[in-house]
Amino acid sequence: MFDLKLSYVTGKFGLILFSIVFIAGCNNINNPGMNRIGEQIINEVIEKLEADHGQDHAGRIRRGVEQVAALWQDDDGDPEAFRNFCTDNFISDSDELDLVFDRLANNFEYLYGYMNRISLELNRPIHEDVGPLHAIDRMFGAFSPQAHITDDMFRNRIAFFITLNFPFYSLDEKNNMGDQWDERQWGFVRLGDYFSSRVPPALLQQYSNASSQTGMYIAEYNIYAGHLVNDQGETLFPEEMKLLSHWNIRDEIKSNYGQPFGQDKQEMLYRVMLRIINQDIPARVINNDNYTWNPFTNEVWTDGQSVDAEPEGGVRYAHLSNMFSALKEMDPYHPGMDNFIKRSFERGMEIPQQEVEDLFREYVSSPLVKEVAGIISRRLGRDLRPYDIWYDGFKARSSISEEDLDRITKSRYPDAEAMNRDLARMLIDLGFESDTAQYIADRIDVDAARGSGHAWRASMRGMPSHLRTRIAADGMDYKGYNIAIHEFGHNVEQTISVYMVDNYFINGIPNTAFTEALAFMFQARDLELLGIEEQDPMKEHLDILDFFWNNYEMMGVSLVDMNVWKWMYDNPGASAGELQEAVTEIAIDIWNDYFAPVFGESDVPLLAIYSHMIQNPLYLSNYPYGRLIMFQLEEYLQERDFAEEVLRIFSLGQLTPMHWMERAVGQQISNQPMFNAVEKAVQALK
């Protein structure tokens, strides 16, 4: 795609600049409104700037001019306007470039920080349990205050100014050269990422609408478990139990290992999941406690009378189709990244999609999976069932009843403010100095969530991040607490990586897998933070098997997610019904390849249940990838101070994954450390 020409030019910051013919991969796309600045004009501008500023800046000049040309549109001006803009605005003086960088860092932090705050406030009724949703809440939830920022910056030429002076570097270039860059140099390069595409505001707003509607659909997809009955007409769950799909349904399956009637409950919830995937779930039982439903026979009653069980009928996949359509319409406006799969992996995760998929397929096809499955089957005293992908019996807490844990968490956290007051104490228990613990805790707010829970990142210093989890009227149950500790890990990362990095443009982490890593590390310590000691001498081995089995499941759902997106791009005109068939077939194919040989049952579509696949396109890969990172971090931290290293590692900033891992733990992401640990654990349990 790119014609790479080496131009070893070293300026004040020691950057080895590669001249990249950026427009070679850009001008062939169908980008409406694009002004095809001719090669002759581009070369004339480059020659003029080289003559004015010297050959020491030749690499950056060529890169910046070509990238500006690739983004220049008809209404930005004629070729002469392009020529004048470039010759008038290129900066060669290093002190001036420093000054501009610092001004941009200050202005962008305020601009994007306050835009993030506006979005947070407008979305509070959607994400927080503050009463019934009104139509006006949905309207504001679909509104994107940031939709026009990028377009406005191109119109007033701020974007062109940045592109000219802080040009974009490809992933390969970042990986090849990043070991020579310090934090400020990385800031220069990250600034260049800001305007590598030019999506019309109408398309951004269109996606915001689709995303908001899908988010509300998922946030209100509750199943009233206390209104489920089996073939004998028996209810198995508490009357008031309400489970959000898929999160709470999955967690309820996990919580019933070793519990009275546990397998009966699991079988019932498994049938609920299959009904959701197949979309023959009766529409009237979704988020509605006026009906009784038998998920085995699919019969529905109200007041003892049988009623029509009209199925939901594809709504789930219509939302997925709408998300795909909104994102696909942006494709022509992303030079060199002309599909969402590329953007998610090479631009978002900064790891090629095929590399991630190959890593996952290597993991799920490991012969260790069958060995661990055999251990689980022996512990259960039965053959595995498909829902045992969520087996939770390796955890020491599986011997502690859910009811006892609920009593503890509800007593300690009757409301969000109670947890808010306890955050600093938890950090101190994890080894943070008291002043550091208080500093971080003061920058996190806890809210009662309408959905399952999430962490909302702050985008500027001075603003808190938000921890959200479900809190019932009688307090936070253990499921809500467990989620809250996971989100707390996100918030700690968010605070460190915003407040403790070298400069604004490297705030954050390489990709969301890295914040998931710390979230999982916190979540694994949830009982420790309740003061519950685990005495099992096999705990270390059991934890490794639990981790390994969880990642096996998550890699399965991630492979489904990735391959569904490949199918949608291969079949862009598919109807929601055709998409539903494809998702089911892909889920079954992945199951048959990697799960049926382990579970002994074929043609199971269970891996299609995750709500992320509908609501958060191509996000799922971050979880298993994050767990691999978490394992390597935990291994690295074994002989080191947890708090001290967390502060060091998560203040590295937004490097690429390759360089972050090298600076954090001195090695790259691999399945092998996990495989080695599992082999030892399996031997220990024989």
Q: Which amino acid is located at 14 in the chain?
A: G
- The pLDDT, as a whole number, for residue 459 is 83
Q: Collect contacts of 475-478 with beta carbons under 8 A, ≥24 apart.
A: 475/409, 475/410, 475/411, 475/413, 475/414, 475/415, 476/409, 476/410, 476/412, 476/413, 476/414, 476/419, 477/406, 477/409, 477/410, 478/255, 478/402, 478/405, 478/406, 478/408, 478/409
Examine the pLDDT at 25 and tell me if it is beyond 50.
Answer: no
* pTM of the complete model: 0.80
Rounded CA gap, 626 and 426, in Å?
Answer: 23
User: C-alpha distances in angstroms, 267 versus 256, 263, 545, 595?
Assistant: 11, 6, 24, 18
Which tokens in the block code for residue 439? 């500093």
Domain's final residue, options 157, 175, 196: 196
CA distance 600 to 591: 11
Q: Is the pLDDT of residue 37 over 50?
A: yes
Residue where the block lists tokens 């031997």: 683
Left, alpha or beta for 651 (phi > 0: left; psi -120 to 50: alpha)? alpha
Listed residue (630, 558, 641) closest to 594, CA to CA: 558
Q: Residue 674's CB: how many other CB atoms inside 10 A?
A: 21
CA distance 49 to 55: 9
Q: Exposed (0-12), middle (13-18) or buried (19+): which is 94, by Cβ within 10 Å?
A: exposed
In a domain, 628, yes or no: yes
Please check whether residues 524 and 551 belong to one and the same domain: no
Cα 15 to Cα 137, 176, 188, 379, 451: the distances in Å are 48, 12, 10, 57, 46
pLDDT value, residue 452: 66
452 with 576, same domain?
no
Question: Per the domain annotation, does 96 fall within a domain?
Answer: yes
Is residue 303 included in any domain, yes or no?
A: no
* Strands 444-448 vs 465-469: parallel, antiparallel or unpaired: parallel
CA 582/CA 584 separation, integer angstroms: 5
pLDDT in tens, 57-77: 999 999 999 999 999 998 999
What confidence score (pLDDT) does residue 210 get? 95
Examine the domain organization and report whether 519 and 573 are in the same domain.
no
Please say whether the beta carbons of 71 and 195 come within 8 A: yes
Cβ atoms within 10 A of the Cβ of 461, count?
Answer: 14
360 and 485 both lie in a single domain: no
Judged against a pLDDT cut of 50, whether residue 9 lies above it is answered with no
Q: Where are the alpha helices (DSSP H) in 433-477?
A: 434-441
Residue whose token pair is 């396109």 = 617
Residues 6+ apart with CB under 8 A from 662: 179, 668
DSSP string of 207-254, one letter each residue: HHHHHHHHHHHHHT-EEEGGGBB-TTS-B-S-TT-EEETTHHHHHHHH
Band the pLDDT of 122: cuts 50, 70, 90: confident
Across the strands, what pairs with 286? 223
What is the pLDDT, as a whole number, of residue 167?
A: 96
Q: How many residues does the chain have?
A: 686
* pLDDT number for residue 474: 93
In a domain, 15, yes or no: yes
Give percent of the chain with pLDDT exceeding 70.
94
Predicted confidence band at 113 (pLDDT cuts at 50, 70, 90)?
A: confident
**Model pLDDT, residue 399:** 61
DSSP 197: -
Q: Are residues 525 and 542 in the same domain?
A: no
Same structural domain for residues 389 and 458? no
Same structural domain, 468 and 439:
yes
Q: What is the pLDDT of residue 663?
A: 95
Residues 37, 74 share a domain: yes
The span from the CA of 502 to the CA of 73, in Å, is: 35
Distance CA 452, CA 219 (A): 8
| Residue-wise DSSP of 628-680 | HHHHHHHHHHTTS-HHHHHHHHTTS-S--HHHHHHHHHSS---SHHHHHHHHH
- 238 domain residue, yes or no: no
Digit-coded pLDDT (tens) for 350-401: 999 999 999 999 999 999 999 999 999 999 999 999 999 999 988 755 567 7
Question: Which residue, 36, 32, 33, is CA-closest to 23?
Answer: 36
Tell whether 463 and 517 lie within a shared domain.
Answer: yes
Q: Can you list the positions of beta strands (E) in 521-611?
A: none
User: How much is the pLDDT for 233?
Assistant: 94
Answer with the one of 495, 529, 563 that is the final residue of a domain.
Answer: 529
SS3 575: coil
428 token code pair: 């101190």
The predicted structure's pLDDT at residue 447: 86
Which neighbouring-strand residues pair with 73? 34
550 in any annotated domain: yes
The pLDDT of residue 10: 28
d(CA 301, CA 293): 7
Residue 617, beta-bridge partner list: none
Q: Which secondary-structure segment (H or E) carries 50? A: helix 39-53
User: Residue 294 pLDDT more than 50?
Assistant: yes
Query: DSSP letter at 502?
Result: S
Together in a domain, 17 and 92: yes
Given a contact cutoff of 8 angstroms between Cβ atoms, the answer to whether 25 and 70 are in contact is no
Angle between helices 94-122 and 158-165 (to 10 degrees): 130
Q: Identify whether 499 is part of a domain.
A: yes
For residues 37 and 159, membership in a common domain is answered with yes
Please give the DSSP secondary-structure letter assigned to residue 3.
Answer: -
Residue 521 — φ and ψ, nearest 5°? -65, -40
Number of structural domains the chain divides into: 3
For the chain, percent helix, then strand, then coil, each to nearest 5?
60, 5, 30
pLDDT for 530-589, tens place per residue?
998 877 778 889 989 999 999 999 999 999 999 999 999 999 999 999 999 999 999 999
Rg (CA), the chain: 26
Q: Report the alpha-carbon distance of residue 388 to residue 250 in Å, rounded.
A: 10
Nearest to 664 by CA among 546, 547, 517, 540: 517
Are residue 545 and residue 629 in the same domain, yes or no?
yes
How confident is the model over 286-298, as a mean pLDDT? 97
pLDDT of residue 631: 86
Mean per-residue pLDDT for 427-447?
A: 95
Residue 211: strand, helix, or coil: helix
| Average pLDDT, integer, range 633-652 | 93
CA 637 to chain centre: 24
* pLDDT in the model for residue 564: 98
Those residues whose C-beta lies under 8 Å from the C-beta of residue 626, and which sit 6 or more positions away, are: 512, 513, 514, 515, 516, 517, 519, 520
Instruction: Supply the mean pLDDT for the chain.
Output: 90
Which of 131-140, 218-227, 677-686 shows the lowest mean pLDDT across its residues? 131-140
Does the pLDDT at position 646 exceed 70? yes
Q: How many beta carbons lie within 10 A of that of residue 417, not counting itself?
A: 12
Q: Which of 196, 231, 261 is the last residue before a domain boundary?
A: 196
Between the two ends of the chain, the Cα-to-Cα distance in Å is: 53
Report whether 661 contacts 596 (CB < 8 A): no
Residue 92: give the domain boundaries: 4-101+146-196
Would 643 be classed as within a structural domain?
A: no
